Chains A and B, each alone.
Chain A
């Protein structure tokens, strides 16, 4: 005889229903799928389903030489392409103990900060759009275009540049590079005030984001939420300060920390970081020393057998690359510790018992890039 199982039937008020946000949804910024349990409009819990843009990058790395891997890392967090490249280059350079020319360090630092600015611009644009301010999107993209133009001149590509090579750069900067960067900084210092006016100073925006998605410092640490999202909770986790690379120990800049831990704090961290990045670039742009744009490298790069780990601060947080080499020209194993993946993990925790509209705002404030999650 079949056993009859009595499950208590929840009343209509308590009943939860599920919606699929994604894989195709305007506010997941890509092919992320969130299965959200809702009670009315209240989010009860959510399960992220990743893997829709999984390309097996870590496995592909095992077949690729180190210069080839650089081209793959562009495609992880496409908004901080330069910084991802930087991580691989540093890994190889530190393993081989190569000292790159001073000029390269200057250019790399400037490029990284430009990259951070444009990433934050795009984040600002899409965050505004998530909250319903469509005009923000066009303002952000308009200004980002200027950085892409600068890159196009020097690197030949607008989006996935692969400009860094182990030991240096692909080629030297364009003669107009310094002039254009300075013009951009001058332009953007004016335009960022519009950003402040249209979102930061808007009462609807501040009400939408204040006290929403609260994350304490302990939670940020235990979930591994790094980058601007973690610093919004008061966790000092800037790799540029704690483990400086390139020229970050020479330039003067502040690590932006906010202690509120809400969506507004994460927003303010990124806004202030844009100012800091501009400050860093201003210190360097006039002082780029003459010299080679690359150190002398062997044609085939082989890392000595061993384990290596390299961290950089990407626009989203702590990007770590763990590499095991068995002495061949390809790594034995590559593992990317990508910031967006850890940042996504906290989304369920901080958006419970809030409304769908808040979930969209919180998701925007974590600044997720989906290929960075799936790799």
Chain B
């Protein structure tokens, strides 16, 4: 039986009433345009807020790991520090590089930010709370998020800077390689779930998240996903594209002001994106923690709003990724590619077979 979550109706009726209100007050074309505008606005605000919060969170987490205090001057506990930084970046001069390809130089940050922005659209935040519910949701997310590498390559190429170029080339090899692992670890779960639609995947985890349901292969897939997605977002021990001790700042060395802020924001949004995909696929997304048969326990869990569940799980994965970044030293480019092609990919292929076998035999929970 589908759960009777008290918050489900609230979200659905809210979106439905807005929808009805718009269509009753204006012509269908205008109502559609207004709806799209509202959705766009809401996502932009969400995007900016998440970006600001994550930058603050990273600085606090990293300070915590490094025996420091972190930002604590602007506002209580420094909560307005990122806003102040953002204003500073807005007011900074946009340095124009001589002999650079001006069009591509300007275009690159937009491509990166659009790629991550498009992918957010498919993420379900609660039951019925998502922009689009594709039936090929996972495929869409993989496809769209991989566009970001184009922006990185363009940025490195158009900057007319050798450090940027090396960073971009590294990043190209890295992102394309690790996309395979991300995709395959997600496919492992698609086999278990039997669908690519995000809403159905979440619904399928009502009585047990996939990481528990699929036990061994699901755990392996989750670990591979964590490693590969960290690499795909150019973070943590895999930040070769930036590699500040080698390449100063890698592909965005020459960027300043708001263009730099775009790269900066996109990094955090990509992190948020892969964390929320991971949370949705492996940890049940907005689905509360349920145990089949424990009705009282399930009801208590239902009192926590689904968006909180979703944010909690996403936050957990983001924290893990920050933990990686502030603990491990950086890999070298050949070690990075060896890790992917010689270890992760074969393990992944075997893991898919294992998962298919387990699903066929019905050995999952």
Residue in A41, A138, A204 whose CB lies within 8 Å of B328: A204
- In the complex, the answer to whether A25 meets B329 with C-beta atoms within 8 Å is no
Contacts of A94 in B (CB 8 A): none
Contacts of B302 in A (CB 8 A): none
Taken together as a complex, chains A and B put the C-alpha atoms of A75 and B247 apart, in Å, by 29
- In the complex, the answer to whether A133 meets B332 with C-beta atoms within 8 Å is no
A367 to chain B, nearest CB (A): 15
- In the complex, the answer to whether A131 meets B334 with C-beta atoms within 8 Å is no
B153 to chain A, nearest CB (A): 16
A355 in the interface (beta carbon within 8 A): yes
Residue in B163, B170, B243, B331 whose CB lies within 8 Å of A19: B163
Contacts of B166 in A (CB 8 A): 41, 356
- In the complex, the answer to whether B66 meets A357 with C-beta atoms within 8 Å is no
1/0 per residue B330-346: CB within 8 Å of A?
Answer: 11111100000000000
- In the complex, the answer to whether B245 meets A26 with C-beta atoms within 8 Å is yes
Contacts of A198 in B (CB 8 A): 327
Quick one: which of B242-277 are within 8 Å of A by CB?
A: 243-248
- In the complex, the answer to whether B65 meets A132 with C-beta atoms within 8 Å is no
A130 in the interface (beta carbon within 8 A): yes
Quick one: which of A10-61 are within 8 Å of B by CB?
A: 17, 19, 25-27, 41
- In the complex, the answer to whether A135 meets B65 with C-beta atoms within 8 Å is yes
Contacts of B246 in A (CB 8 A): 27, 356-357, 360
B108 to chain A, nearest CB (A): 21
- In the complex, the answer to whether B334 meets A205 with C-beta atoms within 8 Å is no
A207 in the interface (beta carbon within 8 A): yes
Chain B residue nearest to A130 in the complex (CB)? B245
1/0 per residue B155-187: CB within 8 Å of A?
Answer: 000000011001000100000000000000000
Residue in A19, A129, A208, A360 whose CB lies within 8 Å of B162: A19
A63 in the interface (beta carbon within 8 A): no
- In the complex, the answer to whether A138 meets B332 with C-beta atoms within 8 Å is no
- In the complex, the answer to whether A199 meets B162 with C-beta atoms within 8 Å is no
A78 in the interface (beta carbon within 8 A): no
- In the complex, the answer to whether B332 meets A26 with C-beta atoms within 8 Å is no
A228 in the interface (beta carbon within 8 A): no
A128 in the interface (beta carbon within 8 A): yes
A366 to chain B, nearest CB (A): 15
1/0 per residue A131-175: CB within 8 Å of B?
Answer: 111111111001000000000000000000000000000000000
Taken together as a complex, chains A and B put the C-alpha atoms of A204 and B244 apart, in Å, by 18
Contacts of A133 in B (CB 8 A): 327-330
B51 in the interface (beta carbon within 8 A): no
Chain A residue nearest to B65 in the complex (CB)? A135
Taken together as a complex, chains A and B put the C-alpha atoms of A204 and B329 apart, in Å, by 7
Chain B residue nearest to A26 in the complex (CB)? B245
Contacts of B163 in A (CB 8 A): 19
Q: Give how many A residues have a beta carbon under 8 Å from the other chain's beta carbons.
A: 31
Q: Tell whether A138 pairs with B333 under 8 Å between CB atoms, given A202-B328, A360-B246.
A: no
Instruction: Give the most central of B66, B247, B332, B333: most A CB within 10 Å.
Output: B332
A215 to chain B, nearest CB (A): 19
Contacts of B86 in A (CB 8 A): none
Taken together as a complex, chains A and B put the C-alpha atoms of A132 and B327 apart, in Å, by 9
- In the complex, the answer to whether A132 meets B66 with C-beta atoms within 8 Å is no
Contacts of B67 in A (CB 8 A): 138-139, 142
- In the complex, the answer to whether A26 meets B239 with C-beta atoms within 8 Å is no
- In the complex, the answer to whether B332 meets A358 with C-beta atoms within 8 Å is yes
Taken together as a complex, chains A and B put the C-alpha atoms of A207 and B334 apart, in Å, by 11
Tier of interface size on chain B: 20 to 34
Taken together as a complex, chains A and B put the C-alpha atoms of A205 and B333 apart, in Å, by 14
Quick one: which of A197-244 are within 8 Å of B by CB?
A: 198-199, 202, 204-205, 207-208
Chain B residue nearest to A132 in the complex (CB)? B330
Contacts of B243 in A (CB 8 A): 132, 357
A48 to chain B, nearest CB (A): 17
- In the complex, the answer to whether B335 meets A207 with C-beta atoms within 8 Å is yes
Taken together as a complex, chains A and B put the C-alpha atoms of A62 and B248 apart, in Å, by 40
B92 in the interface (beta carbon within 8 A): no
- In the complex, the answer to whether B333 meets A355 with C-beta atoms within 8 Å is yes
Taken together as a complex, chains A and B put the C-alpha atoms of A41 and B333 apart, in Å, by 9
B68 in the interface (beta carbon within 8 A): yes
Residue in A41, A199, A204 whose CB lies within 8 Å of B331: A204
A314 to chain B, nearest CB (A): 25
Contacts of A26 in B (CB 8 A): 244-245, 248
B327 to chain A, nearest CB (A): 6
Chain B residue nearest to A131 in the complex (CB)? B329
Residue in B68, B170, B334 whose CB lies within 8 Å of A138: B68
Residue in B240, B247, B327, B332 whose CB lies within 8 Å of A208: B332
A57 to chain B, nearest CB (A): 29
B122 to chain A, nearest CB (A): 33
Contacts of B245 in A (CB 8 A): 26-27, 129-132, 360
Taken together as a complex, chains A and B put the C-alpha atoms of A25 and B248 apart, in Å, by 7
Quick one: which of B40-79 are within 8 Å of A by CB?
A: 62, 65-68
- In the complex, the answer to whether A205 meets B329 with C-beta atoms within 8 Å is yes
B306 in the interface (beta carbon within 8 A): no
A205 to chain B, nearest CB (A): 5
Contacts of B65 in A (CB 8 A): 135
Contacts of A25 in B (CB 8 A): 248
Q: Tell whether A204 pairs with B333 under 8 Å between CB atoms, given A129-B245, A142-B67.
A: no
A123 to chain B, nearest CB (A): 14
Taken together as a complex, chains A and B put the C-alpha atoms of A67 and B287 apart, in Å, by 75
Contacts A17-B162, A26-B244 aside, 9 further interface pairs with beta carbons under 8 A come to A25-B248, A41-B170, A135-B327, A139-B67, A204-B237, A205-B329, A208-B329, A360-B245, A360-B246
7 closest residue pairs by CB, A with B: A132-B330, A133-B329, A138-B66, A131-B329, A27-B245, A357-B332, A132-B329
18 contacts between A and B (CB under 8 A): A19-B163, A26-B248, A27-B246, A131-B245, A131-B329, A132-B243, A133-B327, A133-B330, A135-B66, A136-B329, A138-B66, A198-B327, A199-B329, A204-B335, A208-B330, A355-B333, A355-B334, A357-B243
